[in-house]
Amino acid sequence: MKKKTKKVNAAILIIGNEILSGRTQDKNIAFISNWLNSNCGIIVNEVRIIPDVEKTIVINVRSLSKKFNYVFTTGGIGPTHDDITAQSIAKAFDLKYNYHKEAYKILENYYGKKKFNDGRKKMAKMPNGSKLIYNPSSAAPGFKTRNVLSLPGVPSILKSMIENCKKYLIKGSKVHSRSINLFTVESNISKKLGVIQKKYKKIVDVGSYPFFRLGKIGVSIVTRSTSKIKLKQVEREILKVVKLKKIKILKI
């Protein structure tokens, strides 16, 4: 019996004025996308970067949560005045915004009662009914509200927490990819690639990406599919085109 392909998708919502201003470079998009596909078979289909503005966060959380199986937010869950992700998500789902008892205990034990100030207490406030995403680096947990998983913006902390998201995720079929690097220009192969893509539509994605290496212009042909068998079929057809056109393959 043929195994049915299970497609599970996600969106990433990057929240932070510092990303939009260019002061901070985002490192989380590639990491989360790769982790989701490699570990959970979940494909990221959309990424948005928005400011620390409540109305904007509410609108985007609502729309993305309806459109995708999962939404991953990063940033805005710290102790400062402009960390408003948690309260904005509560508003997006019409939930109360209160102290999470377990999160409060975790943070109080971590800092000690004397150093557990209002800013640190703020990190224990979440939408009602949220489930915790434990933080082995700096104690302050992330949280899951409905199908939205909220993580910190600091890459090293996010990486240490990501495995704790697994228990909340339904796995999909992993997408495999293969690459062929050619010394040619896109216009030389675009027509033939279009024919191949049309033939394997919805089964294999065929993409071409130009590069400049060793003083020459080239193209990387990247194919993606949940089926390894179909990937090999497509690769054989691409290699036939390469041979016919006498294009040199660059081995990396």
Domain identity same for 133 and 197: no
- Burial annotation 21-44 (CB, 10 A radius, 16+ → b, else e): eeeeebebeeebbebbbeebbbbb
DSSP tally for the chain: helices H, then strands E: 9, 12
Domain identity same for 109 and 196: no
Q: How many domains does the chain have?
A: 2
pLDDT at 251: 76
Domain identity same for 164 and 181: no
pTM, entire model: 0.86
- Output the domain CATH number for residue 236: 3.30.70.600
Give pLDDT tens digits for 82-135.
999 999 999 999 999 999 999 999 999 999 999 999 999 999 999 999 999 999
**Whole-angstrom distance between the N-terminal and C-terminal Cα of the chain?**
38
Last residue of some domain: 106, 136, 168? 168
Domain identity same for 201 and 238: yes
Residue 1 domain-assigned?
Answer: no
Its domain, for residue 180, covers 176-250
Residue 218 domain-assigned?
Answer: yes
Q: Where are the beta strands (DSSP E) in 136-215?
A: 142-145, 148-151, 176-183, 205-213
Domain identity same for 153 and 108: yes
Q: How many CB atoms lie within 10 A of CB 87?
A: 19
Position 240, amino acid = K
